[in-house]
Amino acid sequence: MPQRKGLSPGWVITLLALTPATATASDLTLTFIDVGQGDATLISADDLHILVDGGTPRHDVADHLRGEGIGHIDLLVATHPHADHIGGQVGVLERKSVGTIWYSGDEHTTQTFEAWIDAALEADADYREPVRGEGWEAEDLAVTLLHPAAETGGSDLHDRNLVVRIEHGECSALITGDIERDREAEILDAGVEVDADVLELGHHGSRTSTGSRWLDAVQPDIAVVQYRAGNQYDHPHGEVLDRVQATGAEVLGTGAHGSIELSCDSAGEWHIATERTGTVRAGDGADDAADAETGGGGVTSRGAPPSSCIDLNRAPRQDLEEIVHIGPNRAEEIVDGRRWSSVGELDELHGIGRVRLQEIKEQGDACVR
């Protein structure tokens, strides 16, 4: 196995909120933006900016970009049409200039996807549906598409999820979206270059992704998982963390560390800054933390929802349609955006304003467990 080069023996994690940024414009900087249970990654180098995914509609990545003084995205990549990946890109497409859009071309039935495709069509951007081996390059920053291939099929929206390899000088990273193990194998069988210093764990650290063969080929120094602590899917899964930690890679996660900034200098040395300190733990241990925050038993001071309520995060579509103002399209959008933390967040659905939200609350059928 090649010798690891990315982290020096004396590397430290600093806090983003407390420490000024040390990266220069010529360094490669990866910012994994904390958008809860979703993905959003900003790649910057040579005064160029790439955005891969953008989290859910309730996390407006355009606001983050404004805070960083970024008015233009050179390349916007939407890995696949699920709301926790493209929802936060809508504001970027509407309020920032975008040079090129990469997307698979897959269609979805949700209002979030319809809003995204409308914004993409309205943006004055070069729209492309790239296939394996195609690239984007400017200055010393290069992006190569690893997946999908032209012949890649499949009925699941994860099947044609875009996977990109970032390279800048001696520094490299793989951003994987929700790629799953069968498609990881497809990439490896194609014989393309996959080794990288930084690996985003696929599908929020789910056991569906990040197989041993994939890890052996990528050989990351740093692994990053994007998730919300205490999420209903128990991401990241313990078996995935075990596999990653067995490689010796440093594991970072937005659920534990908040936003994460990784910068790589001309010598190929990585520097890590995080929004807060923490430890990435398997999701099956997150319930204990949640119980501690709520005083035990996972019940807040306002009490538990009634047992007969319609849980936004678990109910089937036909049950969701029993909620006032929720028809088939909105039920689909609720399912697609499942990371709900309160009924009040339903005002983010198209057509649900203050009055309708109040009527939903007064009906009393909707809940979040």
Task: State pLDDT tens for residues 40-93.
Answer: 999 999 999 999 999 988 777 898 999 999 999 999 999 999 999 999 999 999
The residue among 367, 266, 253 whose CA lies nearest residue 319 is 367
43 phi/psi in degrees, rounded to 5 = -115, 125
Percent of the chain residues topping a pLDDT of 70: 86
Q: What was the pLDDT predicted at 26?
A: 62
Digit-coded pLDDT (tens) for 136-151? 999 999 999 999 999 9
Residue identified by tokens 């809508």 is 90
Report whether pLDDT(22) > 60: no
Q: CA–CA separation, 307 vs 322, rounded Å?
A: 16
Tell me which of 176 and 15 has the higher pLDDT.
Answer: 176
pLDDT, position 351? 83
Position of tokens 């920032």? 96
Q: Return contacts of 245-252, CB within 8 angstroms, 24+ apart.
A: 247/215, 247/219, 247/220, 248/4, 249/199, 249/220, 249/221, 249/222, 249/223, 250/7, 250/221, 250/222, 250/223, 251/223, 251/224, 251/225, 251/280, 252/32, 252/222, 252/223, 252/224, 252/225, 252/280
Of 152-166, 204-218, 226-240, 335-349, the range with the lowest mean pLDDT is 335-349
More confident of the two residues 123 and 297: 123
DSSP letters spanning 293-350 = HHTSTT--TT-PPPTTSEETTT--HHHHTTSTT--HHHHHHHHHT-----GGGGGGST
Judged against a pLDDT cut of 80, whether residue 15 lies above it is answered with: no
The region that residue 303 occupies, defined by phi over 0 for left and psi between -120 and 50 for alpha, beta otherwise, is: left
Distances (CA, A) of 369 to 204, 213, 345: 21, 37, 14
Pairing of strands 97-102, 126-128: parallel
pTM over 0.85, yes/no: no
* Cα Dmax for the chain: 62
Q: Which domains does the chain have, with CATH numbers?
A: 13-285 (3.60.15.10), 310-367 (1.10.150)
Give the pLDDT band of residue 257 (cuts 50, 70, 90). Answer: very high
Q: Are 40 and 59 in contact (CB under 8 A)?
A: yes
Are the C-beta atoms of 259 and 275 separated by less than 8 Å?
Answer: yes
Contact 291, 31 (CB under 8 A): no
Give whole-number Cα distances, 255 to 214, 229, 251, in Å.
23, 5, 12
Is residue 53 exposed (0-12), middle (13-18) or buried (19+ Cβ within 10 Å)? buried
In Å, how far from its chain's centre is CA 183?
18
Residue 166: which pLDDT band, with cuts at 50, 70 and 90? very high
